[in-house]
Structure 1
Amino acid sequence: MSDLLKRLGIGAGIGIVVAILIGWGTYEIYFLKSVLDGYEFLSYDGRMRSRTEDVEQMSIDDVVIIDIDNNSVAPPEEGGLGNYYDWPHAYHGQLINTVTSGNPSALLFDIIFDQENTFNFELVNALNANNAPTDESLAEVTGQFLSSNDPQLILEATYNSQKTYHALVFEQE
């Protein structure tokens, strides 16, 4: 075997052994993992800074963040709306309509909307269609419930605004 092939073989062998030791060490030796993680974090920060060097900085006043806070997700007994996964999608549709009335450049949702349980809406809607309440106050409450819980509202609001963007999740079924 030629001298060059021997050197390449030895170099590749040493490289593989070092890679295995570092891989094993990062999981088994906390100190080594923290050193390598620190290097990776600094390296990542540097890479991100270099990508945004030429980008003009904008004022934070140009951005409005609507946050789901602890008061929002408090139990209904405490004045909150409960777990936001259980909120009717119509709430988000009402939010879209309200925010887009101010003509924003864009409205971005960082919420993943799972398929909504619309049993209550469908039940009240069917009862109302087949046997409309004769009592005026009951008819008013039924109408309010149906308009504020309509699952189509988020779709219509998103389509009508033309500025609303939702997070996407692709799942394998």
Structure 2
Amino acid sequence: MIRSARTLASAALLLLAAACQPPRPAPAAAPEGGAAAAGSAAVDSLVLMRTRCFGTCPAYRVVLRPSGEVRFRQSWPDSLPEHRATIAPAQFNALVAGADAAGFWALPTLMAENTGVCGMARTDSPTTVVGVYGAARTHVVEDYYGCTRIPGPLRAWEARIDSVAGVSRWLVTPAHR
């Protein structure tokens, strides 16, 4: 029963992540005298969503685009206004390149459903859904924090996305009740 409820929740999260994908802009030309960063030229957006847990885990979504646009919206503890900022396009390109270093492209979409990747799964933990969306290549990974096998490079990459986006400046942490 718990496993099927988790599977339904996983499917809902992945659909939500796909629905949150921003529209794909027309591909930008490489700047004169230089080429676009390898691998990142075809990426339209990088989306990271964190879910609630049994406790005080904030839930939010951050979207980064090649232009450097950052959009952040927190949905827990309250639905808060959207925040916007910018980063350097080179920072976006570095994050996209970080997907390779994290082994992101080889990971299954539903990590908790793959015991070889997840190990045993504990309950009541948050989930991070991270997606790289592009015209030629799109991949979404649901990283359940209840997995007993810790995918260190993936978690470090997720933390780097938060850091580069500057999520901490907008984050409201729910109070203990």
TM range (shorter): under 0.3
Higher strand fraction: Structure 1 or Structure 2? 2
Question: Which structure is larger by alpha-carbon Rg, 1 or 2?
Answer: 1
